[in-house]
Structure 1
């Protein structure tokens, strides 16, 4: 499994951040390639299913995801339910002062953690143009994942804070493809 983690500090309380991240439909505002997020069923909690429509190059693909667990206000787990073995979570962790004392609750760390197996991707998932191979598409699309994850986290933080500050991201990648 390939792994990607994008982490940063947010100047907002953990409960506000958690509720914000629980609204999957808003993610289309933060991604260059995510065109629409439609709720298929559920209210945001475990079992909620979403259809996420991505568009890149000449391709459009709808990923189907499900919220698999929540631990308010600290964690939202999800997985892709068909065409690829992928999943992850949003993690919200209250910040502490440098001396170890908890701060006033107006800061937290947020991370987007994603695991996926590109080898599990189904070639039948896409309607490819003639003379375009599925392997070529994977080779071009996988490197975009890191930039997209960074963009989503950065833009979400800016909306949460209602500011345009430069957001410092810590990125961990366990893959030679991303």
Structure 2
């Protein structure tokens, strides 16, 4: 199982960050490959389901995910419910003190971590309609490294919206895979 964790400091209180991250339909604004997000069930909390339409190259795919657990304002767990074994979480931990490089007007902060675990080999090849002469293995080889780029892009753009300003965002990236 491949694992990727992207974390950074956000200068907002945990409750604000949690409510912001719980609003999954907003994510389409942060991703280059996510065209739309539609809630297909639930109220946004545990048990809520989403259809997320991705497109890359000549391919489109709708991932179906579910919020599996929430611990307001500290954690949102999710999983993909068909076509691939994947799950993850947003973790929000209050900072004991603000770092020296925090913006001068920052009153509070938290460390935010996005974690995803997935088994690329579990992907259902029949879930994607491929052009002639294109193998599913080739697609997996090309898409897997994009997971890291997308996670970094989403976190940076979410920080900008949460804080209401552009600033250099330091990301800590941890993975157990040479392909990410």
Which category describes the TM-score, using the shorter chain as reference length? Answer: over 0.9
- Counterpart CA distance in 2 for 1:128 and 1:152 is 27
Matched, 1:109 2:111: yes
Q: Secondary structure at the match of 1:116?
A: strand
Tell me what 2:129 maps to: 127
Tell me what 1:168 maps to: 170
Give the superposition deviation at 1:108: 0.4
TM-score (norm 2): 0.94
| Residues 32-56 of structure 1, C-alpha deviations (whole Å, 9 max, x = no match) | 0000000001111111000000000
Give the superposition deviation at 1:176: 1.8
- Counterpart CA distance in 2 for 1:54 and 1:159 is 22
| Residues 106-155 of structure 1, C-alpha deviations (whole Å, 9 max, x = no match) | 10010100000001001011000001000000000000000000000000
Over 4 Å off, 4+ runs: none
Give the superposition deviation at 1:97: 2.0
- Counterpart CA distance in 2 for 1:174 and 1:61 is 26
Q: Note the 1:135-174 alignment, pairs <5 A.
A: 135-174=137-176
TM-score (norm 1): 0.95
Count the aligned residue pairs: 174
Tell me what 1:89 maps to: 89
| Residues 44-72 of structure 1, C-alpha deviations (whole Å, 9 max, x = no match) | 11110000000000000000000000000
Contact 2:11–2:107, Cα closer than 8 Å, also in 1: no
Q: Secondary structure at the match of 1:25?
A: helix
Tell me what 1:101 maps to: none
Q: Which runs of 5+ in 1 are unaligned?
A: 99-103
Tell me what 2:101 maps to: none
